[in-house]
Structures are given as structure tokens and as C-alpha cells.
Structure 1
Amino acid sequence: MKSSTAINDGNVVVEATAKHTNGVTNGTPKSAILHRHIHHEPMMVKGASGNYLELTDGRKVLDASGGAAVACLGHNNKRVKAAIACQMDEVSYCASMFFGTTAGEELGKLLISSTGGKMARTFIVSSGSEAMEAAMKLGRQYFLEKSPPEPARINFIARKESYHGTTLGALSMGGHVARRKIYEPMLLSTTSRISACNAYRGQRKGERVEEYVSRLAKELEDEFQRLGPGTVCAFVAEPVVGAALGCVPAVPGYFEAMKKVCDRHGALLVLDEVMCGMGRTGTMHAWEQEGIIPDIQTIGKGLGGGYAPVAGLLIGHRVVNTLDRGTGAFAHGQTYQGHPIACAAALEVQRVIKEENLVENVSHMGQLLSSLLKARLGTHPNVGDIRGKGLFWGIEFVRDKVTKKPFDPADAIAMRIHQKAMSAPYNISLYPGSGTVDGVRGDHIQVCPAYNVTESDIKLIANLTASVVGDFFATL
């Protein structure tokens, strides 16, 4: 059965029951908003509390994905709301070119403290895409200001089946085929990609982990040589790949090996933790589990938990010290950089996470979620892989479990599972993704609940997810 209701670019979700209306009713536009699909109205949320969203059609939906792994404290947190209101009474906006705020300074100190002082400065923006753009520019400026300067360093190496943002620079960096497709002629020529670290798809039969890591490190080395080692600015990667692959962690030793290649050639290591960071994988920063420290790190979704548009950079001592000895200024700035309300919201979110020991809860509840999903779905003939860390889990679907053959992209399996999950009797939101295998073929869903979930919440999420998947394939 083919589905014609979903656009397979990872950006559009259309309900199976939605009707094509050309965006008008009796000649009158239905909405003044250019939604993600002009012919279909989105589901409307009228309220939210804890782990649940209330829709205008009467549904109460369990938000098991936190939107896109964003709502790390759930919805309607009273402490965060109060902090935002308090900040509005103090100051809602000021130009970062001239002014700073207490909220911004306190957030910066908290974030640097969360790294144990391994990172030196923060830079706060409004979205993950903006953070990646800033990381690229900062990496370039570092090489212009170091002594001696290295102006030839203009190239970035990233990975296939990755996602780093939707603005043109960030989109150039990522390897999400569908999201890149129509913009390819406009994208930067100074970015290239090597294989992702995806053991389920990439590790050969009989190949030991150490051999797999060596092969991937050699691929990075070969790409340095192809471009010219002195022309590479940075290697960019997600410690746990989110939307493009569905919560795929690196195998042990991978990032240590890749950093050695970067260090050998003097290039920077940039880690994109917009989706997998800020506690999502069971440590505050995903790199803490990898035995390495990045030069630049992007953060986002779990930073503010959706209470305000906020993202940022954590910048290592190597980069900051070079700027300090050079111009002392980052040649980049934005209108809403360090926005006071966004900083206040993020600061309170992070305080709640720390005071309530929620990163520890992520680790504990993540182990339970993992065991329950694998127990319920591990042997299902259409479940190829269940992978993740903390409360960041992906389920990849296959047509054949033995050969790992994916479904036809036209079948829109992940999107249709999402649609089924949103309907009664399940009423659960699971985050769908496609292109899992090669950017075009492959389907997965992500399960990314709030950090403060309880054991009963996890059991309910696992049971509903297993029921949706089982029932969907039983009638396929």
C-alpha cells in the first residue's frame, strides 16, 4: 500500500485523514500562516501539561518524543514560567552589541561549570542552525587569528546521513539527502562527507569493533589527504546521530580515533549536540562518554526545553585563547544573540535539571526504556535495530530482518506509524524519520521522553509504542 499523504523530506508531517483543500474554505484562506504544508492544516494544540498535549479535536496525546527531543521537562513547568515572567519584569530585550544581562551571565557560568571547566566560553543564539553557522565561522576565524595564521583552512569534513541544520551553511554541512535536495546548487562547495559510524549498517560481518573504527579513521585520513591536510578547518559530527539516522551512537573508541586524525593535522573537532546533548543521553554532554573534549560544541533543544527559542556554542580553551591573543572579538553577531528571556528560560531549565538530579534519572529510566523496547520489539520481523542512549532511542524498520532490506520510500512506513500512533486508542506522539539507510531509503521512529519521567511513564510509553508497531505491521 502506497501513501500519498506524506512528503519524504523529513520536514513535513501530514495526517493520514487530512483532506486536500488547496488551503481555502469557500474561497477564504484557512490560515494566514505558511505552514509546513500549504494544503493541510496542522493539528492544533489548545493546552499542555506534564507529558501530555491537548488538541482542539478533543484528543489528549502522550508526548513521548518531546516534539523533536526538545521538551526535556515536559510542558507547563511552573518554575520556568515564573522565571520568564520575572525576567520580563527586569528586561525583555537589549542589544548585545552594547549590553549584557544577569540571566545571560549566570547561564554562561552554569554551562561552563557543567563541563567541569573543560570549555571556556558560551555563545547564545536562538536555534541549532544558527549555532552551527556560528561554529563554522568561529572555526574559520580561529585559523586566521592563530600564529602563524592559516588562511587556506576553508574545508569542513562531516558525515553522510547527518543533520546539522536548515540554513544554507548548516545544510551544506549535513548529509540529510532529502532536506538538501532542492538546494544543492546553492550549497557550499567547501564541505564534504565520509561514512557515518553506524554499526548496524556499516560494520561488516565478522569485523571487530577495533577494525571498524580503524577503517573509519582511515576514511577520515584519506579525506584529509584528498582535500589537503592544511586546508581542513574541522571535522564535524553528532556524538549520537538524531533525525538523520534515529539515535545511532558511535561504537566505543570511534571519537578518540577521529580526534587523533584531527590533532595530527591541526584541525578542530566540532561536535553537534543540539539534539543529543544537555542531558539527553545520560550525561550532561554526550562527549563525556567518549573520552574526548571538542574544540567547539553546539547545543540546543534540551538547553531550554522548548520554553524559549534558544541554542548556543560551548567554546574550548584552544579557540578562546587564540582569539584572546588576536583581535579579542568574534566577527559575528545577531539581533537576538543572548536574548534575556531565552537565557532566563534556559537558566531555570538547567537549574531544575541539576537540582532534581534529572540527568541521573535519564540514565536510570533510559536503561528501563531500552530493556522494555527490546523485550517487546526486539524479535519483531520488521524491527531491524533498537539503539540509543539515555532517553534518546530509535527503532529502525526493515522489510526483511535477515537481509536488513528497507521498505520502499513510497510506503512512508515511519510516517504512517506516527499517524497510527496519534489515533485512538494509542494517542501517543512518536517522532518519525526517513532516509535511514542511504538518505532516501529507510524508516525509523524516535522515542525521546522528558527527563523527569517516572517508571510508570516509561512502562506506558514502551507498551504503547510496542502496540502501535505490532498493530501497524499486523495490518500492513
Structure 2
Amino acid sequence: MTVVKVETQTDRSAQVAQVIAEPKSAVLHRHLHHSFLSLARGQGSNLILQDGRKIFDASGGAAVACIGHGDGRVVKAAMKQMSEVAYCATIFYTTNVCEELCQFLVNSTRGHMARAYIVNSGSEAMEAAMKLARQYFLEKSPPEPRRTRFISRDQSYHGITIGSLSMGGHKYRREKFQPLLLDNVSRVSPCFPYRNQYRGESDQQYVDRLAAELDEEFQRVGGDTVCAFVAEPVVGAALGCVSAVPGYFKAMQAVCDKYGALLIFDEVMSGMGRTGTLHAWEQEGVVPDIQTIGKCLGGGYQPVAGVLANHRVMDAFEKGTATFVHGHTYQGHPVGCAAALEVQRIIKEENLIQNVDKMGCLLSQLLRQRIGNHPNVGDIRGRGLFWGIEFVADKATGTPFPAQAHVAMEISEMGLAEMYSIAVYPGSGTVDGANGDHIILSPPYNVSAEDMRFIADTVARLIEDFFADRAGA
């Protein structure tokens, strides 16, 4: 005889009570129903979980941890500053450590930049850059108050606040907030040779085509209404470490000069040594008017980012009101400045940027050897220690996986499993803002050749296993 259990109201109430009694995180996480791994500490290139398991941080988080984790020298510098003065109200005061950091940054540009402005995140830096560009045209003589517009690029990412999100072209991040975004930003095509350069089209022809597109956009919106053209020298999260073809940025700068607009480089992800030179623009043969920096400025030891402005921009301010109408409670934060200054001292004294170039060449070679011919690897690209791997459903046609397949995220999550224990950074919307997947590898600057072999071998095994499991599902 079969006994059927009838669920009563009492049973249901008990179940609800049990769910309520279960401990829940009070954190508004990125996903409310996901169980996040809990970190205990970081040590060098490794992240160590509460259960003691080590994960090799091959992405430095979001390309942040440029000298690895747990460096006692940075901790000591930050603690020393905290014990002296932890906060500075910049409306009245300055600190030696902020002055030193800004002087270091200006000096690092070999005289091209005039001043630096220190904030706490890349999004804040882009907001400041936008306002700086707008105010420049009010300060210059004669002023140009009609300039209120910006031109950026599709499939770009410049930050998550309303202004910086308006500047970017990342569809997924924008779509829910589209009604709130600024309507004075328009976009042109990115320089994305793997996807957009025609077969048989030379680099120069491709550059000419993109320059003509930018010129047409200036004409469409009115050349005398544009403050600046904004671009990442190496596109990070949105496209997966895409460099421009030779001559591209010189051509873009020429179009900006034609219409009297500024050139703004977003180097929050690709700058401060990540791509093989301290400033990514050093490899492009151009100098931007305004530059944002961030992640590898402080290496994750403190929230810190910044803006650099060249003499053209600063001369207008000095001859004008001499006042930047912008400010944050925590701008020029002394502890953030101390951490950043120590990170930059370590990078310089240990010649880590030279190591970035050397180890980056090795990583590129190893990745191409191991997975260059994999049927689901469409492209391997990057500079320095900033490498992207784009995945495709069909190698011959470059057809991407659909967005709902979540390929990049699933590969990244699989990498955290004990049999791989490696962290890579996922990206989606690579092809058109919705479809397409890539992962980013951006390890610390002080990695060794042995580390490069481990990363290449482990990532290759991860990719091979993922697609083998997918094919067998």
C-alpha cells in the first residue's frame, strides 16, 4: 500500500521558517543568488580561500593586482601614512604624499602632461575628464560654449556612473539605464581588425576608412560642438585586449585637430605599465590632451585612480579662472596616494615594466602554441601582460556563441574549480555588444617564465576540457 504524504499548512510554514532562519549575506552582491568564494588572504600571485585552497590569480582581478598580493612594503607605506594623516580636506590642505605622486606622474610623461588629479575609481576619473574637457572650452580664449558633445566608440567601456556609462558603448551595461543616460555622446566604430578589417584591406586603408567615419561624425553633429574624442588605446573589458592597427591614433588625432576637439585616452585598464610601457600612448606616437589612469596605479592596495592633463588644457585654466569646478570628499586621499606611490616605486626600482614586455612575449608564444589551432579559439591578442582570447562557435567563419550560452563566464567559473584553480577575467558582447565571448589574462608584472608556462598550460587545459564537455553534453 502506497502512503501519500499530504503537505499541510503547518509543513509549509515550517519550511518557510527554515529558509528565513538560514543565514543570508547582508551584502548587495553582483548576483543575489550566487554563492561567492570567500577569500582569506592574498600572497604573491595567489589568492587563498578560507579553506586554504590556493587560486592562481592570472587576471589580477580586473587587471588590477600588478605587483601581486600581500606586498608588505605597500602595506607599511599605507599604514605609515594612516598613522600620520589619514584624510585631507582638499578645499583647505594638501599633503606631501599627494604632491609626490602627482609630480611622479607628470614627470613620467617626459614633460607632456602638466598636472594630475587623484580620485578613487576609473569611473570618477572619466567623470572628471569629461568635465575638464568641457570647462577647457569655457576657459580658453576665445571661449567656445557651444562645445558640449563627445564622440566615443562602440563596444567600449569607460565606467559605470551615469556620465561614464553614457560615454561607453557597452550595450549590456547600458540597456537598463538607457533613459537616464546623456544624449550628447555619439559613437563610431572601434578599431577591431579581427572582426572589422576587410579581407585584403591594408592597415592604411583600414585607418583611412575609420578616419573618414570619425570625420563624418564630426560633420554630422557639428564640428564646433564636440569637446573630445574618447578611446581606450587597448580596449579591455568590452573587446578583450584589442590594440589598434599602426597609425590609427595618429589619424584620429589629426581629425580631432581639424575640428579643434581634444583627444582623451582612457588608460584605466591598459595603462600604468600593463601593456609594456608606463603609458599605453607611448606606443602609439601620439600624446592625448587628457588621460585617465586607474587599476595598476595602486595595484589594488587602495582605491585610487587619476586624471592627467597636458599643457594645452592647463594653460587655458591658468590664464582663465584657475579653478576646476569639480571635487570629491576623498580626492587626493593620502592613504591611497601613499599606496600608489609605493607601488610605482616598486615597479620602477625592480624594472618590472621590462619584465612585462619580456613575459608578455613568452605568454603570447605559449598560448598560440597550445591553443592557437583550437577550433573554438578565434583570436589571441594583446600587448605586454594584457592578453585576450576570443571564443567562436565556428573558426572558419568567426561565428560567435549566442549570448545566452554564457561561454566566457562559464569558462571563468570552471577555472575556479580545484582541478584548475586559476582565475581569468570573463567578457561578453565581444562581437556586437550582445553576442561573443572572451577571457582576459593579466597577471602581475613580477611573474616568472615558470608562471607563464603554468598559466598557458592550465588555461589550455581549461579551454580544452570546457569545449570537450560542451560537445559531449
> What TM-score do you get using the length of structure 2 for normalisation?
0.95
Q: Distance in 2 between matches of 1:25 and 1:191?
A: 47
Aligned match of 1:18: none
Q: Distance in 2 between matches of 1:65 and 1:179?
A: 21
Aligned match of 2:289: 295
Asked if structure 1 preserves the Cα contact closer than 8 Å seen for 2:420 and 2:462, the reply is yes
Within the alignment, does 1:122 sit opposite 2:116 as a pair?
Answer: yes
Within the alignment, does 1:323 sit opposite 2:317 as a pair?
Answer: yes
Q: Distance in 2 between matches of 1:474 and 1:32?
A: 38
Q: Distance in 1 between matches of 2:297 and 2:109?
A: 14
Asked if structure 1 preserves the Cα contact closer than 8 Å seen for 2:66 and 2:299, the reply is yes
Q: Alpha-carbon deviations, 1:103-145, whole Å to 9, x = none? A: 1011011111111111110000000000000000000000011
Q: Distance in 2 between matches of 1:102 and 1:458?
A: 39
Matched to 2:160, the amino acid is T
Q: Distance in 1 between matches of 2:445 and 2:384?
A: 9
Aligned match of 1:431: 425
Q: Distance in 2 between matches of 1:325 and 1:383?
A: 54
- The one of 433, 438, 444 equivalent to 1:444 is 438
- The alpha-carbon deviation at position 57 of structure 1 amounts to 3.8
- The alpha-carbon deviation at position 59 of structure 1 amounts to 2.4
Asked if structure 2 preserves the Cα contact closer than 8 Å seen for 1:43 and 1:55, the reply is yes
Within the alignment, does 1:269 sit opposite 2:269 as a pair?
Answer: no
Asked if structure 2 preserves the Cα contact closer than 8 Å seen for 1:296 and 1:315, the reply is yes
- The alpha-carbon deviation at position 26 of structure 1 amounts to 3.8
Aligned match of 1:350: 344
- The one of 178, 192, 197 equivalent to 2:191 is 197
Aligned match of 2:7: none
Aligned match of 1:217: 211
Aligned match of 1:284: 278
Matched to 1:410, the amino acid is Q
Within the alignment, does 1:455 sit opposite 2:449 as a pair?
Answer: yes
Within the alignment, does 1:237 sit opposite 2:221 as a pair?
Answer: no
Where structure 2 has 5 or more consecutive residues not aligned to the other structure, the ranges are 1-14
- The one of 453, 457, 465 equivalent to 2:459 is 465
DSSP 3-state at the match of 1:122: strand
Q: Distance in 2 between matches of 1:349 and 1:100?
A: 21
Aligned match of 2:132: 138
1:7-86 pair list within 5 angstroms: 25-86=19-80
- The alpha-carbon deviation at position 58 of structure 1 amounts to 3.7
DSSP 3-state at the match of 2:206: helix
- The alpha-carbon deviation at position 40 of structure 1 amounts to 2.2
Asked if structure 2 preserves the Cα contact closer than 8 Å seen for 1:112 and 1:119, the reply is yes
1:365-444 pair list within 5 angstroms: 365-444=359-438
Aligned residues: 455
Q: Distance in 1 between matches of 2:33 and 2:406?
A: 19
Q: Alpha-carbon deviations, 1:306-333, whole Å to 9, x = none? A: 0000000011110000000000011100
Q: Distance in 2 between matches of 1:145 and 1:232?
A: 15
Q: Distance in 2 between matches of 1:31 and 1:25?
A: 13
- The alpha-carbon deviation at position 419 of structure 1 amounts to 1.2
Aligned match of 2:12: none
- The alpha-carbon deviation at position 474 of structure 1 amounts to 1.3
Matched to 2:269, the amino acid is M
Matched to 1:283, the amino acid is T
Q: Alpha-carbon deviations, 1:65-114, whole Å to 9, x = none? A: 00000000100001101100110121000101111001101101111111
Give the % identical residues: 62
- The one of 153, 172, 181 equivalent to 1:159 is 153
Query: Quick check: 166-175 or 112-121, which moved more?
Result: 112-121
- The alpha-carbon deviation at position 410 of structure 1 amounts to 1.0
Matched to 2:110, the amino acid is G
- The alpha-carbon deviation at position 29 of structure 1 amounts to 4.9
Aligned match of 2:3: none
- The one of 168, 177, 187 equivalent to 2:171 is 177
Q: Distance in 2 between matches of 1:185 and 1:115?
A: 39
Aligned match of 2:98: 104
Q: Distance in 1 between matches of 2:232 and 2:337?
A: 24
Matched to 1:432, the amino acid is P
Q: Tell me the C-alpha RMSD between the 2 structures.
A: 1.2
Q: Distance in 2 between matches of 1:279 and 1:36?
A: 29
Within the alignment, does 1:95 sit opposite 2:89 as a pair?
Answer: yes
Asked if structure 2 preserves the Cα contact closer than 8 Å seen for 1:220 and 1:261, the reply is yes
Instruction: Give the greater-gyration-radius structure (CA).
Output: 2
Q: Distance in 1 between matches of 2:293 and 2:242?
A: 18
Where structure 1 has 5 or more consecutive residues not aligned to the other structure, the ranges are 1-20
Q: Alpha-carbon deviations, 1:221-248, whole Å to 9, x = none? A: 0000000000000000000000000000
- The alpha-carbon deviation at position 178 of structure 1 amounts to 0.1
DSSP 3-state at the match of 1:475: helix
Aligned match of 2:222: 228
Query: Quick check: 412-421 or 230-239, which moved more?
Result: 412-421
Matched to 1:329, the amino acid is T
Aligned match of 1:5: none
Asked if structure 1 preserves the Cα contact closer than 8 Å seen for 2:88 and 2:332, the reply is no
Q: Distance in 2 between matches of 1:117 and 1:83?
A: 28
Asked if structure 2 preserves the Cα contact closer than 8 Å seen for 1:125 and 1:312, the reply is yes
Q: Where has structure 1 moved over 6 Å in runs of 4 or more?
A: none
Q: Alpha-carbon deviations, 1:389-419, whole Å to 9, x = none? A: 0000000000000100001111111011111
Matched to 1:412, the amino acid is H
- The alpha-carbon deviation at position 28 of structure 1 amounts to 4.9
Change (3 A) 1:228 1:367: same
Aligned match of 2:8: none
Within the alignment, does 1:255 sit opposite 2:249 as a pair?
Answer: yes
